[in-house]
Amino acid sequence: MQYTEIMVRYGELSTKGKNIKDFINQLGGNTTKALHDFPDVRVHPKRDRMHITLNGTEPKPVLERLKLVFGIQSFSPVVQLPKDIEAVYAAAVEMMQEIYQAGMTFKVQTKRADKEFPMDTNAINREVGGAVITALPDIKVDVKNPDIELLVDVRNNGIFLSSLTIKGAGGFPVGTAGKGIMMLSGGIDSPVAAYLGMKRGVDMEMIHFFSPPYTTQQALAKAKQLTAVLAQSVGAIKFIQIPFTEIQETIKEKVPEGYLMTIQRRMMLRLSVLMAQKRNGLAIFNGEALGQVASQTMESMMAINDVTTMPIIRPVVSMDKTEIIKVAEEIGTFDLSIMPFEDCCTIFAPPSPKTRPNLEKTRQFEKLIDVDGLIERALAAVEISTIRPGEDYMNPEEAVFAELL
């Protein structure tokens, strides 16, 4: 079956009222970007649906790519036919023969936007169904819960036939919710939090703190690789790496052990907020889940949050670890996240950090370090890069290996 186009349904977008035009334009742009390396594909965002014409492009890789684009509820590969009912019968039969397996049920569902077409909806349902049953005598009709739903869409420019509906990523088109700054560690939670934020339309940039020589190049490469995985949904992500060694060493030297972690986190948050302000970000995102570790009690969150009034959004705050892992597996970050490279959150972790830090004491202990000077020096050494899907940071020798394999 030679599919000619893909029909995309918007879902939640359709409820957006006045903003819908902006949303659809953004989605059209994002989709075009996601499909940029298929030169013959054309994206046509329309008010009720988006039509992607294939112009001879193999549909399968296009379908795979679309699964990742936020703002798409579902989509179907479609065959465009002339307005000739005989051609519809033939194509319906061919399509059904391809997917039918013994015991499956089906129904025909017709939408007739073109009221000039001589047959009405019921007649089309009946006749196309009849043609299928003649070709596949064992197939049963089930109008309530069919295995295959054969969709016939009679439009002004032709009749469109499809039988397969693929679930999209849902959510809102990235970019419609403004820019956010994600504190990405490299663990399981923060990539999931980033994904969930992007799914609500946030244009996310990643901040990663690294502390050489305590953390390795591999830990940094891992954070970049996670970003490359997340970039599959959005095309490209800015990666902001901030050196954290001096700050960590100073805190370790000056601050009582129980408050190491709290003050470290406050410094990270300060740096993130400053970066966000510089880059027109509206909120900080992180992967904190309530109660998971010492820094993730509400007391801790309060003591850390104290340094800023910028909103801190914690998409996974109320999720169980098992729920977070499930999402991580689905979005392909889990296997990377569990690779055993120390990140800078764990290297100086004291054996018993305060789970209920006192805010006043925190502020007092922090006076022992030169906050402004440390921040200035860290910001001076920030490096920003753009990370794209498919890039490989974990395996610099991929091309060499490709010759072996």
Partner 1 sequence: MIYFDNSATTQADPTVVDTYSKVSNNIWGNPSSLHNFGEQAFSLLNQSRKQIADIFEIKPHEVFFTSGGTEGDNWIIKGTAIEKRAFGKHLITTQIEHPAVINTMQQLESLGFEVTYLPVDKRGRVSANDVAAAIRPDTILVSVMVVNNEVGAIQPIAEIAEVLADYPKIHFHVDAVQAVGKGLQELVFNSRVDFATFSGHKFHAPRGVGFIYMKEGRRIAPLMSGGGQEKNLRSGTENLPAIAAMAKALRLVHEDEQAKIAQEQVVRQTIIEHISNQPNITVFSETTSDFAPHILTFAIEGVRGETIVHAFEEQGIYISTTSACSSKKEQVSGTLVAMKVPEHIATSAVRVSLDATNTIAEAQQFNQVFDKLYVGFEKIFVKN
Q: Applying CB under 8 A, which residues contact partner 1?
A: 101-103, 218, 329, 335, 394-395, 397-398, 401-402, 404-405
Contacts (Cβ under 8 Å, ≥6 apart) of 340: none
Binding residues are 183-184, 208-209, 265, 287, 296
Binding residues for ATP are 183-184, 208-209, 265, 287, 296
DSSP summary character for residue 397: T
Shortest distance, position 293 Cβ to partner 1, whole Å: 24
122 versus 401: smaller Cβ distance to partner 1? 401
User: Is residue 266 packed enough to be buried (19+ CB in 10 Å), middle (13-18) or exposed (0-12)?
Assistant: buried
Shortest distance, position 103 Cβ to partner 1, whole Å: 7
Shortest distance, position 332 Cβ to partner 1, whole Å: 9
Shortest distance, position 221 Cβ to partner 1, whole Å: 10
Shortest distance, position 404 Cβ to partner 1, whole Å: 5
139 versus 276: smaller Cβ distance to partner 1? 139
Contacts (Cβ under 8 Å, ≥6 apart) of 136: 93, 96, 97, 100
Do 129 and 110 touch, CB atoms closer than 8 A? Answer: no
Do 367 and 374 touch, CB atoms closer than 8 A? Answer: no
317 versus 344: smaller Cβ distance to partner 1? 344
Packing angle, helices 298-305 and 359-366, rounded to 10? 40
253 versus 401: smaller Cβ distance to partner 1? 401
H or E element at residue 122 = helix 121-135
346 versus 395: smaller Cβ distance to partner 1? 395
- Tokens standing for residue 311: 């909103």
Do 205 and 180 touch, CB atoms closer than 8 A? Answer: yes
116 versus 397: smaller Cβ distance to partner 1? 397
Shortest distance, position 60 Cβ to partner 1, whole Å: 10
Do 154 and 116 touch, CB atoms closer than 8 A? Answer: no
DSSP summary character for residue 144: S
